[in-house]
């Protein structure tokens, strides 16, 4: 689809900030067939207009958007004019005017809506939401069964649409991390025929860039060209810089995207599993076409215990503590019990003779890729893609435990020869198109990864906008990763402001949100100048604290009520000026 950036004359009666906002707004209208406002694509037969179908998505990492675009292709082939948009871009009046709706939404955090669906859900769940008797809908939910609130965002939207009188076309499907096949099957059932209209053609004014073909199911075998430790002596963490050579893959990416990495399980962990199951590596297993050792190494998640494994172990083990926390349904108590334990720790609770390898495999989830924020700009490192990875290691009950993919990259990937990778675009997390606007970045620890890429990108583009980074960790002497590069960015004038928060270098712990408060007046002034606010890192604690602090700063510095400050933040989100890459 062609994206047309509208021309706004220099003598137009707008301030620079207004021009920037208006330009982005109009470009957004042109870049998508927005619900209720964009022109419908003409049907091939001018005598019969292809009916519209609205496809709305809510995504945190880009998966739901990719499925929504696949849905649009299917809808077009079935005689519809698809109109694709983010959930938050749709008003309740526009929703009430729709007739056929497909919703694809992921769940983020602990049962939360993704960032670009929060406003939609707030409006939809309010008592003023309109009746929707004329709407036929279907919801596809993406999630992860490792979390208690599996696919909660999709469940909530599906239920609420029904409560408002909308008619469900097909039942909702809740997809686990291995979502591609069930999503494809669901789309085939959910999208009806378009009433005999000639399928609407896609906009072919500018051909879409060819896809590389490298996916989670068909990863590119990449060679690691750099693998070095960033954290210093005495650090409690092991932070590594990993670089892959993209070779002849044809893969492309942009600053802000993520990289999917397919790990294999550590050999010593696999050996411990085989010992616990009392079976050799070459043992045949019912229902498997590969040996037990191979499937444990490459195909199953044997570190993080699945729900099915936890329940199966509890039913077979004589363990009062596990039975108690499961029986009470206390999620926090279960989390405390599982803290520092892996699946093998639970397996040891069951008498060895009662373990059948085929049955145990049925309790496990497939070994999945891990997605990492890319820490390089392709303009600065052509032919390469970089990651910033914290290798997780801990001891429990006398046995070394490890993060699956982080320590695979740290310890094993080089020996493996090649590592399976694929690109995961995140179109919502991008450097501003306008090189003159301010950019504020909050990324403690490995959260700095995309902001290294953002700074490299802005440097390559010759951007003139102010760049302000909030970074922190435990100790400056050992945890100030990329210190030399950041110093270089500062000395060159690219990095206009740098605020550091090393929590354990003084008696009172200081975090990035404290530095934000100290500089609240200037931060608010940059937002008022059209600045973009980015956050990357831990979703459970850091991102929540930063969000609370941002509200506080806007309320105080803007002289606003709490409600008005919330609306200010919501407006930043709708304008894509407050975006997060959190995990």
pLDDT 10s digits, 337-367? 999 999 999 999 998 777 999 999 999 999 9
Which residues make Cβ contacts (< 8 Å) with residue 444, sequence separation at least 6? 470, 471, 472, 473, 501, 511, 512, 537, 542
Has residue 305 got a pLDDT over 90? yes
Average pLDDT value for residue range 49-77: 92
Where in 311-377 does DSSP place strands (E)?
370-373
pLDDT band at 211 (very low <50, low <70, confident <90, very high): low
- How would you classify the pairing of strands 384-390 and 239-245? antiparallel
Q: Is the pLDDT of residue 496 over 90?
A: yes
DSSP letter for 13, please.
Answer: S
> Which option is the CATH number for 267-362: 1.20.990, 1.10.3470, 1.10.1220, 2.60.40?
1.20.990
β-pair type (173-175, 220-229): unpaired
In this predicted structure, what is the pLDDT of residue 60?
84
Supply the pLDDT for residue 35: 43
- List, in sequence order, every residue forming a beta bridge with 300; answer none if it has no partner: 366
493: left (phi over 0), alpha (psi -120 to 50) or beta: left
**First vs last C-alpha separation in the chain:** 31
Strand ranges (E), 462-570: 467-473, 497-502, 532-537
Residue 195: the pLDDT is 55
- How many C-beta atoms lie closer than 10 Å to residue 562's C-beta? 11
Token pair listed for 132: 């929707």
Domain ranges of the chain: 32-190, 220-263+369-424, 267-362, 439-582
Two tokens, residue 184: 């494809």
pLDDT band, very low/low/confident/very high, at 489 (cuts 50, 70, 90): very high
pTM of structure: 0.85
Sign of CA dihedral 40, 45, 49, 52: negative
Q: Taking a C-beta distance cutoff of 8 angstroms, is the pair 372, 385 a contact?
A: no
Q: Which residues contact 1 (CB under 8 A, 6 or more apart)?
A: 31, 32, 202, 203, 206, 208
Q: How confident is the model at residue 68 (pLDDT cuts 50, 70, 90)?
A: very high
| Predicted local confidence at residue 515, as pLDDT | 98
pLDDT at 25 over 60: no
DSSP count for the chain of H helices, then E strands:
22, 19
DSSP string of 342-353, one letter each residue: -HHHHHTTS-GG
Q: What is the mean pLDDT of residues 572-577?
A: 92
Q: What percent of the chain has pLDDT over 70?
A: 89
Question: Mean pLDDT, to the nearest integer, of 281-305?
Answer: 96
Same topology between domain 32-190 and domain 439-582: yes
Mean pLDDT along residues 200-214: 52
CATH number of this structure's domain 220-263+369-424: 2.40.30.10
439-582 topology per CATH:
Rossmann fold (3.40.50)
32-190: CATH topology is Rossmann fold (3.40.50)
Q: Could you tell me if 298 and 264 are in contact, meaning their C-beta atoms sit under 8 angstroms apart?
A: yes
pLDDT recorded at residue 32: 41
Q: Is the pLDDT of residue 14 over 50?
A: no
Residue 253 is predicted with a pLDDT of: 97
In the predicted model, is pLDDT for residue 395 greater than 70?
Answer: yes
Residues 160-199 have pLDDT tens digits of: 999 999 999 999 999 998 899 999 999 999 998 765 444 4
Query: What pLDDT is recorded for position 412?
Result: 85
Q: Which of 145-149, 376-380, 484-488, 495-499 has the lowest mean pLDDT?
A: 145-149
Cα 36 to Cα 89: distance, rounded to the nearest angstrom = 11
d(CA 426, CA 581): 9
Residue 215 φ/ψ, nearest 5 degrees: -135, 180
């Amino acid at each position: 689809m062609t994206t047309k950036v509208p021309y706004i004359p220099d003598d137009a009666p707008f301030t620079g900030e207004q021009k920037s906002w208006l330009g982005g707004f109009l470009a957004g209208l042109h870049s998508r067939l927005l619900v209720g406002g964009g022109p419908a694509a003409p049907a091939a037969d001018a005598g019969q207009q292809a009916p519209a179908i609205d496809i709305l998505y809510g995504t945190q990492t880009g998966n739901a958007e990719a499925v929504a675009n696949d849905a649009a292709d299917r809808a077009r082939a079935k005689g519809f004019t698809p109109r694709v948009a983010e959930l938050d871009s749709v008003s309740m009046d526009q929703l009430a005017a729709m007739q056929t709706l497909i919703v694809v939404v992921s769940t983020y955090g602990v049962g939360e809506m993704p960032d670009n669906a929060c406003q939609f859900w707030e409006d939809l769940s309010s008592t003023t939401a309109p009746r929707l008797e004329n709407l036929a809908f279907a919801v596809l939910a993406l999630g992860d069964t490792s979390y208690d609130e599996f696919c909660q965002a999709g469940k909530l939207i599906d239920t609420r649409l029904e409560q408002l009188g909308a008619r469900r076309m097909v039942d909702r499907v809740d997809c686990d991390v291995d979502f591609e096949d069930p999503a494809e099957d669901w789309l085939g059932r959910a999208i009806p025929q378009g009433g005999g209209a000639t399928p609407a053609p896609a906009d072919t004014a500018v051909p879409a860039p060819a896809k590389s073909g490298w996916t989670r199911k068909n990863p590119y075998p990449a060679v690691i060209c750099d693998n070095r430790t960033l954290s210093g002596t005495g650090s409690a963490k092991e932070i590594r810089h990993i670089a892959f050579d993209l070779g002849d893959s044809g893969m492309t990416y942009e600053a802000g995207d993520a990289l999917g990495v397919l790990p294999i399980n550590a050999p010593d962990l696999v050996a411990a599993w085989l010992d616990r199951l009392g079976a050799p590596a070459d043992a045949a297993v019912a229902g498997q076409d590969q040996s037990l050792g191979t499937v444990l190494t490459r195909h199953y998640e044997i570190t993080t215990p699945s729900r099915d494994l936890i329940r199966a172990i509890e039913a077979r083990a004589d363990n009062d503590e596990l039975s108690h926390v499961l029986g009470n349904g206390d999620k926090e108590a279960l989390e405390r019990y599982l803290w520092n334990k892996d699946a093998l720790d639970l397996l040891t609770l069951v008498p060895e003779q009662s373990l059948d390898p085929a049955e145990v495999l049925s309790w496990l989830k497939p070994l999945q890729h891990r997605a990492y924020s890319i820490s390089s700009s392709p303009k600065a490192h052509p032919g390469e893609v970089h990651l910033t990875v914290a290798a997780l290691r801990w001891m429990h009950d006398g046995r070394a435990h490890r993060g699956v993919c982080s320590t695979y990259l740290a310890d094993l990937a080089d020996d493996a020869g090649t590592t399976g990778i694929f690109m995961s675009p995140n179109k919502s997390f991008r450097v501003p198109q306008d090189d003159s606007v301010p950019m504020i970045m909050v990324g403690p620890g490995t959260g700095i990864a995309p902001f290294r890429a953002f700074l490299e990108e802005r440097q390559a583009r010759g951007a003139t906008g102010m760049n302000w980074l909030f970074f922190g960790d435990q100790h400056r002497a050992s945890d100030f990763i990329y210190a030399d590069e950041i110093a270089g960015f500062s000395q060159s004038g690219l990095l206009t402001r740098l605020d550091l928060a090393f929590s354990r270098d003084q008696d009172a712990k200081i975090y990035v949100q404290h530095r934000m408060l100290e500089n609240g007046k200037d931060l608010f002034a940059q937002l008022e100048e059209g600045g973009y606010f980015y956050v990357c890192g831990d979703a459970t604690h850091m991102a929540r604290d930063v969000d609370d602090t941002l509200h506080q700063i806007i309320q105080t510095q803007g002289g606003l009520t709490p409600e008005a400050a919330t609306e200010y933040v919501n407006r930043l989100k709708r304008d894509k000026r407050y975006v997060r890459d959190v995990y």
